[in-house]
Structure formats: structure tokens, C-alpha cells
């Protein structure tokens, strides 16, 4: 392939070609996907309007400010794809150094997550909204132009562009969760919210056996935390065919599950006392009928019993499992079940807690650009699956995610296994 002429159109919502394997996108497919994910990002962000005042929102735990997020996704793509980054040693440690400056003066100080911690992102004085949007558009334009003249479609050649794509996908999902937390409805049709109804449907049995966890293919794109592949043995197990539903979780709530400390781990009880919670985040009772309601992007709706329960912390998932006499699946069990793709396993409505702490696979070697992964090891919990706010390419059985145990901000739920 000698190149192509595709340039960005920020109102473009996807091309006509359907690429079967998002982990092996060639250049033309990558260009289409990069424009599509930017369109999704801007569609979620459209809810904040055009003026600076609309983008200045209350601070939310587990979230970044929307304007910082837009600048960051642009900076991340620019750093990986355009800045001609080289690795140098400083005091014996590898350090990434850009060979060319950013398209926006000051971008490294504003948007590099290694230079500005989560609290500081809410305090820093950023450029005007129009300036950040222009920077994001300029980076996308330059990224696609550089992509078009690459010499081949090899995995090593395209790695930076694929990584930028998957990173922006996840940042877009985080913006959607921020809108939910703020009670703000999306305004763009590109992000119409689907129904999440999913009847429970019993359990599935898996024979287990020897299994290779992680990215097992010789080619294609894998994120650093999916490597290297891990030969492991998984004993036979059963697992819910679908995530725990609102109706199932409501039984725990109405059985005074939040008031009975016996179901909660010590860390869970500490979290519960700090939260003064008696039901999942965004649940409330109607003041007159006393029916259970859920706040969904600013609209109060009758709780759908068949929806997968979401916005629950690891502590709430563990407490429900203790109450029900069940347990969370191990990360290896979840991956084996999803990778085998046996009929009946349903996922993709919510991210899902597992019983496994988020740790590097044996033999993992962090590169200079992998600090965001390494920083989460040992403090976060492994989460699997994808949510309704994830693009289809994020729905991969090998994909991992990490959340802090008290995170109920993300679109996260869980499924269970018999003890």
C-alpha cells in the first residue's frame, strides 16, 4: 500500500468500509477509526457548550476536567505519532524525550499526565476552549497526514497510531461517565444511549483446563498490560451468563444489605461509613410512590429491573456476593469464558469487577511510555469487559482495565460465580 489521501473531517461519523478486526487495522482503517473516535469525543463534549463557563464544572472524584481531557487526548496522539520521541538514559533510567516541539506551546506542562497530577488538573489555568479545540483539530490533521505516508502497514509501523486510537476511546468513555455524574444529557445523536436491558439467564459451566491468558497472537495490536501471554491452569467453574441485574441487586438493598456489616469486608465497611450509602450511586426513591428510581444523564427514570446494575464499587459487588453466597470471578476465569465464546455468555453492557488485583503479567517489562499502566499495579482492581459507552473495538476478551476499589463513577457492574 503506497498511501492514501484521506484527511480529517471533524463532522465525519465513520466511513463505509467495515473493518473486521480492530486490532489489525491497516492505515486506511486506522484513519477512519481515528476520525470516528474524535467525532465521538466531540459529541460527548458538545454537552458543555461553546463558552468557557460551560466547561468549568464541579470537581468529581475519579474524573478529569473536560477541557483537560480534550487537550490530553490531542497531546497523547501528538506525543506518540508526531513528536519523534526518543529514549535517553538519565541517571541510569530510560526517559522519553521529544525531538520536535508541540503544535501548542505549553502543551507538555498542561497535558502530560506525568507532569500534572489529577488534583492539579482541576486547578491549572488552561487556554481558551477554542484554542484547545484548534490544537486537537491540528493534531488530528497532522496525525492523519503522517499516517498516510508511512511506508507500510506493519504492526511496528502502526503501533503508535493504534495506541492513540485505543487511548482516546477510553477517554471518551470517561467523558460520558462525567456527564452522568454531573447530571448532564448528551446532545449529539452520535452517542444515542441504547437500552441496557439484559435478562439474567442463569449460569454457564466451563470445564477449565490449561489456558493462555493475555494477547496470544503473533501479530496485531496489544496494550502493554496484555503482555506477555501467561500459560495458566483454570479449574472447572460456573459463571453467570449475564451481569447481575438491578432486580437482583435490589433484593440485597431491600434486605438491609447496606446496614448489615456482616456482608462487607473491613475496607468495604470503611468505605460505607464514609459514603453513608444505602443503595447504589444514582439510585433514589420516589418521594410519593416510594418506587425505586435511577438518575440517568440528568433524567430520573423508574429503575429498569432487567438492566445490568452499574456504578457500583468493588466493595458493593463483594458485599452482594457475600449476601448471595457467591463470589466474583477471577480475572483468568472471566477471560477464559469470553475467549471461548461459548453460546450464552453476554457482556458489553457494563465494565465488570473481578476478584483479581490489577497486577502485571509475569515477565512484563514497562517501557518508558507505560507509566500510566505501572502506576495502577498493586493499587487498582482488574476490571474486564466493555460498557455501552465503549466503541465496538473495545469489546475484546483479552482487554484489561484497572479501577480503584472505591470507584463507582465508571460504568461498572459485575457478575458472580458459585462458591
**pLDDT for 84-122, tens place per residue?**
999 888 787 778 899 999 999 999 999 999 999 999 999
What is the rounded distance in angstroms from the CA atom of residue 164 to the CA atom of residue 161? 5
Distance set, CA 371 to CA 69, 341, 400 (Å)? 18, 32, 16
**What does the pLDDT read at residue 199?**
60
Distance set, CA 396 to CA 166, 233, 391, 410 (Å)? 12, 21, 11, 18
Grid look-up 458472580 returns 416
Q: What band does 196 get if pLDDT is binned at 50, 70 and 90?
A: low
Question: Which of 15-29, 141-155, 304-318, 334-348 shows the lowest mean pLDDT across its residues?
Answer: 15-29
**What does the pLDDT read at residue 3?**
47
Strand extents, DSSP E, 40-143: 86-90, 93-97
What is the rounded distance in angstroms from the CA atom of residue 21 to the CA atom of residue 408? 31
Average of per-residue pLDDT values in the chain = 92
- Across 348-361, average pLDDT: 97
**What does the pLDDT read at residue 95?**
83
C-alpha cell at 203: 449460569
Distance set, CA 227 to CA 20, 217, 222, 283 (Å)? 23, 11, 7, 38
Please give the angle made by the CA atoms of 159, 80 and 171, to the nearest 5 degrees: 90
Distance set, CA 289 to CA 6, 146, 292, 298 (Å)? 56, 59, 9, 20
Domain boundaries, the chain: 22-191, 203-418
Q: What band does 282 get if pLDDT is binned at 50, 70 and 90?
A: very high
Angle between helix 266-275 and 314-324 (nearest 10): 120
Above 60 in pLDDT, residue 6? no
The answer to whether 279 and 303 are in contact (CB under 8 A) is no
pTM for this one? 0.94
Please give the angle made by the CA atoms of 167, 356 and 350, to the nearest 5 degrees: 50
C-alpha cell at 320: 452482594
C-alpha cell at 221: 495490536
**What does the pLDDT read at residue 18?**
73
Q: Could you confirm whether domain 203-418 is CATH 3.30.160.20?
A: no
Phi and psi of 256, rounded to 5°?
A: 60, 35
DSSP-based three-state secondary structure for 117? coil
pLDDT digits (tens, 9 = 90+) for 65-76: 999 999 999 999
DSSP-based three-state secondary structure for 233? strand
**What does the pLDDT read at residue 8?**
46
Q: Is 343 exposed, middle or buried (0-12, 13-18, 19+ CB in 10 A)?
A: exposed
Amino acid at each position: 500500500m503506497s498511501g492514501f489521501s484521506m484527511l480529517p473531517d471533524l463532522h465525519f461519523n465513520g466511513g463505509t468500509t467495515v473493518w473486521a478486526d480492530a486490532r489489525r487495522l491497516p492505515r486506511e482503517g486506522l484513519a477512519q477509526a481515528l476520525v470516528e473516535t474524535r467525532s465521538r469525543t466531540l459529541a460527548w463534549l458538545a454537552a458543555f457548550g461553546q463558552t468557557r463557563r460551560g466547561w468549568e464544572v464541579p470537581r468529581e472524584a475519579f474524573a478529569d476536567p473536560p477541557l483537560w481531557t480534550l487537550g490530553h487526548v490531542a497531546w497523547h496522539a501528538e506525543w506518540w505519532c508526531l513528536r519523534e520521541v526518543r529514549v535517553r538514559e538519565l541517571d541510569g533510567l530510560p526517559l522519553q524525550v521529544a525531538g520536535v516541539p508541540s503544535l501548542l506551546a505549553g502543551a507538555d506542562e498542561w497535558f502530560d499526565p506525568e507532569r500534572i497530577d489529577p488534583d492539579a488538573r482541576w486547578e491549572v489555568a488552561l487556554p481558551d476552549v477554542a484554542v484547545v479545540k484548534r490544537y486537537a483539530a491540528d493534531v488530528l490533521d497532522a496525525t492523519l497526514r503522517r499516517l498516510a505516508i508511512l511506508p507500510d502497514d506493519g504492526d511496528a509501523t502502526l503501533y503508535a497510531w493504534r495506541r492513540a486510537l485505543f487511548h482516546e476511546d477510553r477517554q471518551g468513555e470517561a467523558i460520558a461517565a462525567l456527564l452522568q455524574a454531573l447530571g448532564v444529557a448528551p446532545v449529539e445523536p452520535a452517542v444515542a444511549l441504547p437500552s441496557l436491558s439484559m435478562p439474567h439467564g442463569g449460569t454457564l459451566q466451563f470445564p477449565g483446563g490449561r489456558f493462555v491468558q493475555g494477547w496470544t497472537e503473533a501479530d496485531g495490536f496489544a496494550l502493554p498490560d496484555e503482555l506477555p501471554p501467561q500459560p495458566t491452569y483454570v479449574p472447572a467453574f460456573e459463571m453467570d451468563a449475564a451481569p447481575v441485574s438491578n432486580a437482583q441487586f435490589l433484593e440485597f438493598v431491600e434486605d438491609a444489605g447496606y446496614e448489615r456489616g456482616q456482608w462487607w469486608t473491613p475496607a468495604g465497611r470503611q468505605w460505607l461509613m464514609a459514603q453513608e450509602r444505602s443503595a447504589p450511586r444514582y439510585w433514589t426513591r420516589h418521594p410519593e410512590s416510594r418506587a425505586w428510581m435511577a438518575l440517568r444523564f440528568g433524567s430520573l427514570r423508574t429503575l429498569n429491573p432487567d438492566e445490568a446494575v452499574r456504578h457500583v464499587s468493588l466493595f458493593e459487588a463483594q458485599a452482594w456476593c457475600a449476601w448471595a453466597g457467591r463470589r466474583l470471578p477471577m480475572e483468568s476465569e472471566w477471560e477464559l469464558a469470553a475467549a471461548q465464546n461459548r453460546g450464552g455468555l453476554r457482556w458489553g453492557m457494563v465494565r465488570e469487577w473481578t476478584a483479581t488485583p490489577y497486577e502485571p503479567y509475569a515477565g512484563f517489562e514497562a517501557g518508558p511510555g507505560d507509566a500510566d499502566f505501572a502506576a495502577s499495579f498493586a493499587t487498582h482492581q482488574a476490571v474486564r469487559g466493555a460498557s455501552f459507552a465503549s466503541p465496538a473495538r473495545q469489546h475484546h476478551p483479552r482487554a484489561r482495565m484497572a479501577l480503584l476499589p472505591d470507584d463507582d463513577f465508571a460504568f461498572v457492574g459485575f457478575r458472580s460465580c458459585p462458591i
